[in-house]
Structure 1
Amino acid sequence: MHIPLRTVDLILVVLYLIGITWFGLRFRKDGERSIKSYFLADRNIPWWAISLSIVAAETSTLTIISVPGIAFTGDFGFLQLVMGYLLGRIVICVLFLPRYFRGELMTAYQLIGQRFGTRLHRLTALLFLVMRAAAEGVRVFAVAIVVGVALGTGDIASIVILSLLTLLYTFEGGMKAVIWTDVLQMLLYVVGTVVSLWSICGHISGGAHTLLSVASSAGKLTVFHFSLSVAQTYTFWAGVVGGCFLTMASHGTDQLMVQRLLAAKNLRESRMALLSSGVVILVQFTLFLFIGAGLFVYYRQLGVAPHVASADRIFPQFIVQQMPVGISGLMIAAILAAAMSNLSAALNSLASTSMVDFYLLRRTNVSEAAKTRLSRLMTLGWAAILLALAIVSRGSGHVLEIGLSIASVLWGGMLGVFLLGTLTERANEKGTMIGLLAGCVLNLLLWRQSSEIHASVLGHDLVFPKVAWTWYVAIGAVVTFGIGYMTSLFSKYERVGSAM
């Protein structure tokens, strides 16, 4: 059910959309310099801005609307995954970042090309494009949930408006516009989150004290689950091990994050940006979970269940229906900020990979002006593709889990390739490609089984035990590494380079 935003709130949302677009366009430069400037902002961004930009890209609308829904229906077990996120960042700082800062790399997959060769270089870049486009389609659709509840616009209209405004400043300003708008947007939605939690406490009889006591007695504040079941999504083991592998893949091999880390002035600042972002993420996720617990207590006191199609819509509905005038508009603007932040990052990283890892591999004698012009056109092309994918991805369920599970199917294989290139000199291109194929196929089968879609070979169902998506990356990486290494030992092809 749609309840229109009040005039003041609507004005705030419109002002935000105009203001952030204007702010992003301020980073446009006439006669754009080079693709290094367009995609890496001349490697002159301070570490703290990159840190906030990482958090903004990692958060997205999925987090703001879905994590409270997870806490509303469950507990604080999601924080176990965040602990793995922190551990994964440490591993990336030790294992991957030093390799990225050797030379003038612009994408993560150039490193694979140096180590293994052109075929694997293009294959990993292609997998990133497929994975990022699929996952981003779900994330862009999440915008429609918020805008639809707040403004009453249809899904397609909501997606188109946000996509076009984000494209405008990303197309013109490049990576510098992406990062600095990220900083502004991240600050906005953190303020909005704190204000939302304050507002929820104001709606609960007894305030914050009642929230804590009722949520605790209902088991909502429980963090640790030591179950050994791989089918259970949020356990200590899935969180620490699965979350660590997930972050190693998402922040260490995915161009969306690696591109930000490469925009730092040097290795030291890149490490500072990544590690500090982990602390911010922990605080931020905790706030989102408290919002979910607060909504649980609020509706329990009312004695009614929220009338929503899914748990992802509970928080947006509360914002529109219950928050004071002005606060609703602020929070809707904050959620839109997260959406635009993530979309701008996706557009820039997809364009950079398309340009550097495909076009420039074939054509080396291209002027800087032509490279920049083509980079902008690729940004425009990917905006159209993501818009189409967002429209066809409309569905139900926890959109955060859907988005992460889609990415996790391929992230495991990708991480396995990077680990083979980093930890061993005996892996070669042919063996690594076979390992990558095996890891991705296994994860795809596990995902299909979990989705209650059974694969069939020779007329017989392939029945796998149900495995939670939090384990996909770890399983895929281990299988890719193991099969890739063993196959390389028996392959007659020589490796291209030494360990990265």
Structure 2
Amino acid sequence: MSVVDWIVLFGTLLLIVSYGIYKSRGSNNIDGYLLGNKSLPWYHIGFSVMATQASAITFLSAPGLAYSSGMSFAQFYFGVPLAMIVLSITFVPMFHRMRVFTAYEYLEKRFDVKTRVFTAFLFLIQRGVSTGITIYAPSVILSSILQIDATYTTLFIGCLVVLYTVWGGTKAVSYTQLLQMGIIFFGLLTAGVMVVHLLPAEIGLVKALHIAGKSGRANAIDFSFDWNNQYTVWSGLIGGFFLQLSYFGTDQSQVGRYLTGSSIRDSRLGLLMNGLIKVPLQFLILMIGILVFAYYQYNQPPIFFNKLELNKIEKSTYQDELQKIKDQFNTVFQEKHRLISKLNTALDQEADREIDEIRADLHIANKKTAAIRDELTGLMQKNDPKADTNDNNYIFLNFVTEKLPKGLIGLLIAIIFLASMGSTASALNSLASTSVIDIYKRFIHKEGSASNYLNVSRLMTFFWGIFSIIIALYASRLGNLLEAVNILGSLFYGTILGIFIVAFYIKRAKGTATFIAAILAEILVIICWKVDVMAFLWLNLVGCILVVFFAMLIQAMFPAIQRR
């Protein structure tokens, strides 16, 4: 990056951190530190909810996912608007009326302490691990730019986020997220315009999308009903609905965002705002990946987007074999470039038969490219068994750093950092909230002073920060980070949601029956995932249904089971 980019990057980060610390001054008790004194307006809540979900993984991995496999991932978010409506009607007023710090406090009042602790434990494990993955995402950026090992950049990014979250609490998180989302929207729109600008003069936005579509990258909607297909309309509307309902309704990282609202109305409006904006925002992010794909149909892409791993093999004893693979890659690209030129002409002439023939030839060429890349990754593993052979997370980053003008590179890198800081800070704050309220205050020190709880909250924020950094050091082995986070959530969210569904709507089910049901359901969900019975989104539905079914069955078979 140029000096201008570094100035833009660090200037933006300094502005965000300073602003958050300034606005969070005066948080001298646990209510202010964990819930921001419940004083934030609806638009703060809406942007904070969005920023918490839209981590660096979203902006780093989503364009790469669209580049590799198309727009189908957009269907993952189809359940968001429905989930926001249900939450606004049910969860929000209940949590506000009970004046809780965490979602899990309600479970003890409804069931018993063991059900509360088990649910909080599931959340802590899932959120602690996924936070480590979100910390790793921006470290990939610094690693690629500075050409140093991601271990060092992971430690740097993790420590930066942990320090300002420990200091400012939830107010620092919410206020910085408001400013972050404004910068993010501006940067994404600018990036999309620039990608189109870099295409050949005769290729506009519509033509670029046509080219991507004929190459199998614009497949945004799939109405087929296939349990093993990760992304369809039905998996998004049904499985995605249950995932989003659990995430926004029972995950403290999100519940803590809308509990900061000054009223039930503000919390509802914030969630509905997220429901209206989230799907179009995700389409925009994925479309940028599609446009990058279109750009590389006219300009030769790198054979491998992770420069650090490619440099390793270029300096190894396998240089001659690598060169042969590069030569094959160059030959196939020239063939694809010729086909794309023919496709341009055919599209202009609306020659449908010729378009279909070219499309079939492009499919064959793309399969050749995939085979060449497989040969390359095999050579990488031969050279280094620990090599990171998945470069999906580096596609958009490589394009940004290599092709965009000075200044804009720094801004887009800053956006990815800001997204990471926002989601990571929210997660650490929620982990601290759950640890202090559901464990420390409940079992260890029930009558502590305000300063005691505040200090313990900061200590727990620091502890979970260190835990997440340790997880981040191993995140490179997880493949596409966006999918990894969502798979991890799907292993736990269905069970957690099922517990809350029983609590809200099945009054005859008591604590012990629900506790046993949740354990059985979680075991079965993990088994379904391990043996690959279905696509991961359906695990959210399965987990929820199993908890409800087992709770009703156990309570009916053993009616003497009491609440306590």
| TM-score, normalization by structure 2 | 0.82
In the TM superposition, 1:47-196 aligns within 5 A as 47-196=42-191
TM-aligned CA deviation for residue 39 of structure 1:
0.4
Which of 520, 523, 527 in structure 2 is aligned with 1:438?
520
Question: Match for residue 243 of structure 1?
Answer: 240
Q: Which moved more, 1:341-350 or 1:72-81?
A: 72-81
1:473 corresponds to 2:540: yes
Unaligned runs of 5+ in 2: 306-389
Q: Distance between the aligned counterparts of 1:12 and 1:228, measured in 2? A: 47
Alpha-carbon distance between aligned partners in 1 of 2:87 and 2:303, rounded to the nearest angstrom: 42
Matched, 1:344 2:425: yes
The residue type paired with residue 504 of structure 2 is T
SS at match of 1:102: helix
Letter matched to residue 264 of structure 1:
G
Distance in 2 of aligned mates of 1:115 and 1:126 = 18
Q: Structure 1 396/409 Cα, relative in aligned 2: closer, same or farther at 3 Å?
A: closer
Q: Deviations over 1:411-435 (max 9, x none)?
A: 1110000000011111111111111
Superposition deviation, residue 493 in structure 1: 1.8
Alpha-carbon contact 2:56-2:419 (below 8 Å) kept: yes
Contact 2:67 2:292 in 1 (8 A): yes
One-letter amino acid of the structure 1 residue matched with residue 210 of structure 2: S
Which amino acid in structure 2 is aligned with residue 484 of structure 1? A
User: Is residue 71–residue 219 contact of structure 2 (8 Å, CA) maintained in 1?
Assistant: yes
Match of 2:269 among 259, 267, 272: 272
**Distance (whole Å) between structure 2 residues aligned to residue 88 and residue 481 of structure 1:** 19
Deviation per CA, 1:116-142, whole angstroms, max 9, x where unpaired? 011111111111111101111112111
The question of whether the paired residues in 1 share the 8 Å contact of 2:209 and 2:294 is answered with no
Residue equivalent to 1:402 = 484
1:320 corresponds to 2:387: no
Inter-partner Cα distance in structure 1 for 2:22 and 2:41: 18
Report the alpha carbon displacement of residue 217 of structure 1 after superposing the two structures with TM: 2.9
**Bigger mean CA offset, 473-482 vs 19-28:** 19-28
Residue 288 of structure 1 and its aligned partner are, at CA, apart by 0.7
1:7 corresponds in structure 2 to 3
Q: Tell me by how many angstroms 1:307 deviates.
A: 2.1
Alignment partner, residue 460 of structure 1: none
Q: Is the 8 A contact 1:200 1:295 kept in 2?
A: yes
Report the Cα offset of residue 237 of structure 1: 0.8
Contact 1:10 1:329 in 2 (8 A): yes
CA–CA separation in structure 1 for the residues paired with 2:145 and 2:509? 53
After superposition, give the CA deviation of every residue in 1:430-464 in whole Å (9 maximum; x if it has no partner).
111111112211121122223xxxxxxxxxxxxxx
For residues 223 and 24 of structure 2, the distance between their equivalents in structure 1, rounded to whole angstroms, comes to 51
Of 113-122 and 65-74, more deviation after overlay is shown by 65-74
Structure 1 residue ranges without an equivalent (≥5): 451-464
**Deviates most, 80-89 or 212-221:** 212-221
Match of 1:486 among 553, 560, 563: 553
With over 3 angstroms needed to count, the CA separation of the structure-2 counterparts of 1:314 and 1:263, relative to structure 1, is same
Deviation at residue 222 of structure 1 after TM alignment? 2.7
Instruction: State the alpha-carbon separation in 2 of the partners of residues 169 and 304 from structure 1.
Output: 39
Range moving further from structure 2, 483-492 or 236-245: 483-492
Aligned-partner Cα distance in 2 for 1:44–1:439: 38
Opposite residue 387 of structure 1, the aligned amino acid is I
* CA distance, structure 2, for counterparts of residue 10 and residue 305 of structure 1: 24
How many corresponding residue pairs? Answer: 476
Q: Which residue identity lines up with residue 229 of structure 2 in the other structure? A: Q
What is the aligned partner in structure 2 of residue 222 from structure 1? Answer: 219
**Aligned-residue offset at 1:320:** 0.5
Match of 1:265, SS? coil
The one-character-per-residue Cα deviations of 1:190-227 (angstroms, maximum 9, x if unpaired) are 21111111111111112323222212333433322122
Instruction: Give the CA deviation at 1:115.
Output: 0.4
Q: Secondary structure, in 3 states, of the residue corresponding to 1:227?
A: coil
- The whole-number CA distance in structure 1 between the counterparts of 2:505 and 2:303 is 51
In 1, the alpha carbon distance for the partners of 2:154 and 2:14 equals 16
Larger helix fraction of residues: 2
Is this contact kept in 1: 2:162–2:465, CA < 8 A?
A: yes
Deviations 1:160-211 (A, max 9, x none): 2222222222112111110011111121122111111111111111232322
Distance 1:223 1:213 in 2: 13
Rounded Cα–Cα distance in structure 1 between residues aligned with 2:176 and 2:254 = 16
Alpha-carbon deviation of 1:373? 1.1
1:150 touches 1:316 (CA, 8 Å); kept in 2?
no
Task: Give the letter aligned to residue 222 of structure 1.
Answer: N
Name the aligned partner's letter for residue 258 of structure 2: L
SS at match of 1:394: helix
Partners of 2:71 and 2:95 in 1: how far apart? 35
Map 1:373-384 to 2 at 5 A: 373-384=455-466
Please give the alpha-carbon distance, in whole angstroms, between the structure 2 residues aligned to 1:368 and 1:163. 28
Give the stretch that moved more between structures: 479-488 or 161-170: 161-170
Deviation at 1:253, TM superposition (A): 0.4
Which AA in structure 2 matches 1:334? I
Q: When the two structures are superposed, what TM-score results if normalisation uses the length of structure 1?
A: 0.92
3-state SS, counterpart of residue 256 of structure 1: helix
Q: Using the alignment, how far apart are the partners of 2:6 and 2:136 within structure 1?
A: 21
Deviations 1:328-369 (A, max 9, x none): 011000100000111110110000100000011122211111
Q: Which amino acid aligns with 1:255?
A: Q
Task: Identify which range, 229-238 or 307-316, moves more after superposition.
Answer: 307-316
Check conservation: 1:250, 1:257, Cα contact below 8 A.
yes
Whichever of the two has the greater Rg, that structure is 2
| Alpha-carbon shift at residue 66 of structure 1 (Å) | 1.4
CA distance in 2, matches of 1:19, 1:103: 37
Cα shift at 1:490: 2.2
Does the CA-based 8 Å contact 1:117-1:429 persist in structure 2? yes
Q: Distance in 2 between matches of 1:151 and 1:265?
A: 44
Q: Any conservation in 2 of the 1:412–1:473 contact (CA below 8 Å)?
A: yes
Q: Which moved more, 1:56-65 or 1:307-316?
A: 307-316
- Measured in 2, the distance between the counterparts of 1:161 and 1:13 equals 15
Q: Deviations 1:239-261 (Å, cap 9, x if unpaired)?
A: 10011001111000000000111
What secondary structure sits across from 1:101 in the alignment?
Answer: helix
Name the CA shift for 1:202/1:180 in 2 (closer, same or farther; >3 Å). same
1:296-355 CA-to-partner distances (Å, cap 9, x unmatched) read 111111254552242221000101111101110110001000001111101100001000
Amino acid across the alignment from 2:62: V
* Cα distance between partner residues in 1 of 2:499 and 2:232: 27
Structure 2 residue identity aligned to 1:408: S
Q: Hey, what's the Cα distance between the residues in 2 that align with 1:74 and 1:438?
A: 35
Moved over 6 A (4+): none
Aligned to 1:297: 294
